[in-house]
């Protein structure tokens, strides 16, 4: 294990622990009164865990997708999954449905994400496997269709529900709750295990289908499994806290620059870095202008994008030289 | 600079209104103005309203000119109004300028707080040639406000309150809203009064720290009891939640019009129930 890897993991753990103490009020875990204990256990802890889960899932999804699509611009949302989730969540809000109680909107979003994933997968499918260009174009097409339908609903509706749908789409971790975490954890874990299990295949895919084939991998089949993994992780993440951008697109590039493009290392470290970044962003979001809150998605990009641009300009991030 | 320009326009429109004949074809660009016009008995003279104007219910039968933030210029002009009333809160300023360029008479309603409402109504009445009706309505509102203010100042010590507009994501009523005014008038302290926007996304942690004695949850889309469950679960250790001082209210305070009195009375009714 490289030195940077170790530091990254230690740093992330410290950040996560620190973020438990930081908020509108500083909480010392060793000296807590009843109010602080409740804030720490039922508000901050689920929120920190949610940010780690979501950030980790998005980081891993991005790394895997950039591999299977062989495209540095790929991110978990390029497959239209976010627009599908947002469309159904907005529909749920509009119908005023409370079919699943507190879970209603997450369930709607999850169903939307999964249905979109299946539709995009079906269109990317040909001759017994998934093909990068088909997947990419199917994702972009479906994404456009769904976001236009969402816009259409918003233009036609005079509803307060729509304003909330917009807020939700921007990503909001404030309502993190213990009840959502177990199911998100299981889905993300399954996706992550699938990705790591096929990480070798992903390495081969990145060299091109012919080489992958000669190394003993079936490219179409590898992509199917990995696509399923990404679909699970993204759907779980979007349904828990809305759409948080940047992490899935740029964190894998930053990590690839640090540790190289071996997916067996890249994927777990993208999980660590993605989680740490979202956790930090959310901590700033709930602290900076307290008692008001800022959406985490915005802060993630404000924190991460300048660093990424610096790497792009100053360092050999794409391995061109 | 734009502000000065805007106010100049308003002054011009006011002076213009004073000399012209009372308007007979009025278009309202805001739901609260529609309610005020109906309360002044000007129903016959209203020729167009926004698609949000649903109070009183028969306002829904008037021709529609689009939304509050995006009224249709063509729809307004085609109704041949001789007066378009609009508000600084919610209507785009550019629309006023466009109307003016088309030599259309406009009136911009200035009141933003409950305390400014009676005077706002009288100014509007003057611009529409309906001074008497406006005065009667303004006095009725002023009387009710004075009565409630007297009741509110008798409250001591001041209790802390919070008005939640939407539980998830949590949007609360901050300063410069009718809800904030109403809480203040009833002798309550709005714990979200110190933020810098009218409808902030508020921190759940901070609510627990500030520990309001009373929580109001406004009416929104869907079943508010159901939508608020998750939030109230998080706030379960607050006295307000434990002792059942969480009240689901109507939407009367969302519009600065005649129904704010009903809205304040509703809140006051909940407080007196204890």
The domain limits of chain B are 2-142, 155-273
Query: What integer is the mean pLDDT of A280-307?
Result: 86
Q: Has residue A2 got a pLDDT over 80? A: no
- Candidates B170, B208, B220; nearest CB to A174: B170
Question: Which CATH fold topology does B2-142 show?
Answer: Rossmann fold (3.40.50)
The alpha carbon dihedral of A314, A279, B172, B212 has a sign of negative
For the stretch A4-63, pLDDT in tens is: 888 889 999 999 999 999 888 888 888 888 888 888 888 889 999 999 999 999 999 999
Whether A24 maps to a domain, the answer reads: no
Q: Strand B214-217 relative to strand B246-248: parallel, antiparallel, unpaired?
A: parallel
Closest Cα partner for A270 from A55, A16, A33?
Answer: A55
Q: What is the CATH number of domain B155-273?
A: 3.40.50.1980
**What is the distance of C-alpha A110 from the center of its chain?**
13
Closest listed residue to residue B161, CA positions, set B33, B267, B63, B19: B267
Which residues constitute the domain of residue A201? 49-314
Mean pLDDT of the A83-87 span: 85
- Angle (CA) B86-B89-B91 rounded to 5° is 50
B225 token code pair: 């009891």
Inter-chain touch A292–B223, beta carbons under 8 Å: no
Whole-model pTM: value is 0.81
User: What CATH number did the domain enclosing A95 receive?
Assistant: 1.10.3470.10
Looking at residue A49, its pLDDT comes to 95
CB contact under 8 A, A291 and B195: yes
Highest-confidence segment of A124-128, A162-166, B196-200: B196-200
Instruction: Find the helix packing angle between A81-95 and A160-169, rounded to 10°.
Output: 150
Name the token pair of A296: 């985490």
Chain A, nearest residue to B167 by Cα: A175
A157 to chain B nearest CA, in Å? Answer: 10
Numbered residues of chain B with Cβ closer than 8 Å to any chain A Cβ:
51-52, 67, 166, 168-170, 192, 194-197, 200-206, 208-211, 220-223, 226-227, 229-231, 233-234, 237
Mean pLDDT of A69-73: 83
- Of B51, B201, B226, Cβ closest to residue A292: B201
Q: Is A214 exposed, middle or buried (0-12, 13-18, 19+ CB in 10 A)?
A: exposed
Contact yes or no for B206 and A290 at CB 8 A: yes
Residues of chain B short of pLDDT 50, as ranges, are 16-18
Chain B residues whose CB is inside 8 A of the A34 CB are: 237
For the stretch A207-221, pLDDT in tens is: 888 899 999 998 888
The complex's ipTM works out to 0.73
Q: Is residue A19 part of a domain?
A: no
3-state secondary structure of A135: helix
Identical fold, B2-142 and B155-273: yes
Q: Give the separation between CA B125 and CA B119, rounded to whole angstroms.
A: 10
Let me know if residue A97 belongs to a domain: yes
* pLDDT tens digits, B172-214: 999 988 899 999 988 899 999 998 888 888 888 889 989 999 9
Give pLDDT, residue B18: 47
Main-chain dihedrals φ then ψ at residue B163, nearest 5 degrees = -110, 110
Return the residue of A nearest to B209 by Cα. A35
B137 vs B124: CA distance, rounded Å: 11
Dmax over CA atoms of chain A, in Å, equals 64
What is the distance in angstroms between the Cα of B238 and the nearest Cα belonging to chain A? Answer: 9
Nearest to A231 by CA among A112, A94, A73: A112
A161 touches chain B (CB under 8 A): yes
Q: For chain A, how many structural domains are there in total? A: 1
Q: How far is CA A230 from each of CA A67, A122, A237, A241, rounded to the nearest angstrom? A: 11, 15, 10, 17
Would you say B226 and A97 are in contact if contact means Cβ atoms under 8 Å apart? no
B205–A98: do the CB atoms touch at under 8 Å? Answer: no
């Amino acid at each position: 294990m490289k030195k940077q890897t170790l530091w990254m993991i230690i740093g992330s753990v410290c950040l996560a622990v620190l973020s438990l103490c930081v908020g509108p009020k500083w909480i010392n875990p060793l000296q807590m009164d009843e109010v602080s204990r409740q804030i720490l256990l039922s508000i901050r802890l689920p929120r920190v865990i949610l940010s780690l889960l979501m950030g980790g899932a998005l980081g891993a999804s991005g790394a895997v997708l950039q591999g299977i699509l062989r495209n540095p611009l790929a991110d978990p949302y390029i497959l239209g999954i976010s627009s599908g989730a947002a469309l159904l969540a907005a529909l749920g809000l509009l119908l005023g449905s409370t079919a699943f109680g507190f879970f209603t909107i997450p369930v709607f979003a999850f169903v939307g994400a999964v249905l979109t994933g299946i539709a995009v997968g079906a269109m990317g499918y040909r001759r017994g496997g998934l093909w990068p260009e088909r997947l990419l174009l199917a994702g972009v097409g479906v994404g456009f269709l769904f976001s236009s339908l969402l816009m259409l609903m918003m233009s036609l509706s005079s509803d307060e529900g729509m304003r909330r749908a917009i807020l939700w789409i921007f990503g909001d971790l404030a309502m993190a709750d213990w009840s959502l975490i177990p199911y998100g954890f299981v889905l993300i874990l399954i996706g992550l295990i699938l990705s790591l299990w096929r990480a070798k295949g992903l390495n081969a895919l990145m060299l091109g289908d012919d080489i992958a084939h000669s190394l003993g991998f079936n490219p179409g089949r590898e992509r199917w499994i990995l696509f399923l993994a990404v679909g699970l992780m993204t759907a779980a993440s979007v349904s828990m806290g809305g759409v948080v951008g940047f992490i899935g697109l740029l964190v894998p590039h930053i990590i690839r620059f640090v540790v190289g493009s071996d997916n067996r290392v890249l994927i777990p470290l993208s999980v660590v870095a993605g989680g740490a970044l979202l956790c930090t962003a959310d901590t700033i979001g709930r602290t900076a202008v307290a008692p008001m809150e800022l959406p985490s998605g915005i802060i993630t990009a404000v924190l991460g994008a300048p660093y990424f641009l610096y790497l792009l300009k100053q360092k050999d991030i794409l391995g061109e030289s | 600079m734009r502000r000065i320009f805007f106010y100049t326009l308003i002054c011009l429109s006011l002076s213009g209104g004073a000399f012209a004949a009372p308007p007979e074809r009025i278009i309202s660009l805001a739901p609260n103005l529609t309610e005020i016009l109906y309360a002044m008995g000007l129903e016959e003279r209203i020729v167009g309203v926004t698609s949000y104007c649903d109070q009183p219910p028969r306002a829904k039968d008037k021709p529609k000119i689009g939304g509050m933030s995006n009224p249709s210029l063509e729809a307004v002009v085609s109704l041949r109004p001789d007066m378009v009333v609009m508000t600084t809160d919610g209507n785009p300023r550019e629309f006023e300028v466009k109307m003016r360029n088309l030599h259309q008479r406009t009136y911009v309603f200035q009141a933003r707080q409950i305390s400014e409402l009676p005077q706002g109504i009288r100014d509007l009445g003057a611009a529409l040639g309906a001074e008497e009706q406006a005065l009667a309505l303004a006095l009725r509102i002023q009387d009710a406000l004075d009565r409630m203010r007297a009741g509110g100042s008798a409250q001591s010590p001041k209790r802390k309150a919070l008005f939640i507009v939407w539980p998830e994501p949590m949007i609360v009523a901050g300063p410069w809203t009718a809800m904030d005014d109403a809480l203040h008038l009833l002798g309550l302290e709005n714990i979200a009064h110190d933020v810098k926007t009218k409808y902030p996304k508020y921190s759940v942690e901070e609510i627990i720290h500030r520990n309001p004695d009373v929580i109001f949850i406004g009416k929104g889309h869907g079943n508010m009891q159901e939508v608020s469950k998750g939030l109230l679960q998080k706030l379960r250790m607050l006295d307000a939640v434990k002792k059942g001082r969480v009240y689901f209210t109507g939407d009367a305070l969302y519009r600065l019009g005649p129904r704010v009195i009903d809205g304040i009375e509703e809140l006051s009714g909940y407080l007196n129930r204890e």
